[in-house]
Structures are given as structure tokens and as C-alpha cells.
């Protein structure tokens, strides 16, 4: 007895983008059963020339760990990495993973439960990057909506 051919339902992807303050959260849902993945981006723009100084990304890696990544200019010293200070807390260090002249350098920091708690209540962030000449460039900015971003990323402390 011949079997009826199985019908394969194509996988659909749904993408949504939400803005919280300076953060842009993009979520996609695909697969069978549908799995939702989200990532967030915050761009720091220079006051004078409106050029992008830094990009701060939040999301999960393949293993499901919550990470913060920072894309910086390429004219930096790899050591000591990127210093991240939330409000008046102690600086955290994100180590550089890669650098290219065209795309800049990428540093990564795994977010612990404590860091997630600190992020949820943070009003300000300061990012320090050591330039090739040894001087530290610090960029301070408000992080409105970061608690909503972390909720979308299902970050629990």
C-alpha cells in the first residue's frame, strides 16, 4: 500500500524591532517548534562629528549564555580590554576577541547574575578604551530602557 507523500511546512520567520531609549531590540521567531531569539544594540555617537564611537550589543551565544559585546575603533591597545562601569560601580573588563581595520575591534563580556541585576538598575554607563598612544578614551552616557531590553532578552538574575 502506497503512503501519501508527507507535506513539509516551510519554516516562517517573524522579526520584530522595538526601541527603548537609545536601545534597538530585534527579535526573530523561526523553526518548528518556534524558537525566539533576541539581540539588542546601543550606538554611541560623537557629539561633534556624529560618527559612531562605540556599539554595545547584548544577546545570547549558541550555548545560551548572555553576553555583552562592544565594537570599538581599531586604533586601540588590546590590553587591558574595554572597561565597563555602571553608575559608580567597579569597572568590569571585556576582553577583545578580534580586530579588523574596516570593522573595528570586538570585545566580549559574559554577564553574570550580579551584572544583570546591576544593568537593570543602571542609569548611566561609562566605557573606557585604551588608544594606541596609551591614553584612555572614556565615553559616558545614559542607558534608558536597559531594564526593558533585558526583559526582552529574558535575562534573569
In the prediction, which pLDDT does 41 show? 95
pLDDT band at 6 (very low <50, low <70, confident <90, very high): very low
Strand positions, DSSP E, 65-123:
66-72, 82-86, 92-100, 104-110
pLDDT tens per residue, range 40-68: 999 998 888 888 889 999 999 989 999 99
* Owner of C-alpha cell 516562517: 12
Find the domain containing 65 and state its range: 14-152
Identify whether 40 is part of a domain: yes
pLDDT band at 157 (very low <50, low <70, confident <90, very high): low
Is the pLDDT at 108 greater than 70? The verdict is yes
Query: What CATH number does the domain containing 69 carry?
Result: 2.60.40.1880
pLDDT band at 109 (very low <50, low <70, confident <90, very high): very high
Identify whether 64 is part of a domain: yes
Q: How many domains does the chain have?
A: 1
Say if CB 157 and CB 150 are below 8 A apart: no
Identify whether 7 is part of a domain: no
How is residue 124 written as a grid cell? 548611566
Is the pLDDT at 7 greater than 70? The verdict is no
Instruction: Report the predicted TM-score, pTM, of the whole model to 2 decimal places.
Output: 0.86
∠ at Cα 133 (128, 139), nearest 5°?
20
In the prediction, which pLDDT does 80 show? 92
Amino acid at each position: 500500500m502506497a503512503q501519501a507523500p508527507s507535506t513539509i511546512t516551510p519554516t516562517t520567520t517573524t522579526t520584530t524591532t522595538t526601541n527603548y531609549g537609545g536601545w534597538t531590540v530585534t527579535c526573530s521567531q523561526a523553526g518548528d517548534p518556534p524558537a525566539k531569539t533576541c539581540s539588542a544594540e546601543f550606538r554611541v555617537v560623537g557629539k561633534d562629528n556624529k560618527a559612531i564611537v562605540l556599539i554595545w550589543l547584548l544577546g545570547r551565544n549558541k550555548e545560551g549564555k548572555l553576553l555583552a559585546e562592544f565594537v570599538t575603533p581599531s586604533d586601540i591597545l588590546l590590553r587591558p580590554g574595554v572597561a565597563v562601569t555602571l553608575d559608580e560601580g567597579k569597572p568590569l573588563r571585556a576582553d577583545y576577541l578580534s580586530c579588523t581595520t574596516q570593522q573595528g575591534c570586538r570585545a566580549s563580556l559574559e554577564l553574570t547574575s550580579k551584572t544583570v541585576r546591576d544593568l537593570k538598575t543602571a542609569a548611566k554607563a561609562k566605557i573606557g578604551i585604551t588608544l594606541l598612544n596609551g591614553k584612555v578614551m572614556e565615553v559616558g552616557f545614559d542607558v534608558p530602557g536597559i531594564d526593558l531590553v533585558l526583559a526582552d532578552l529574558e535575562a534573569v538574575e
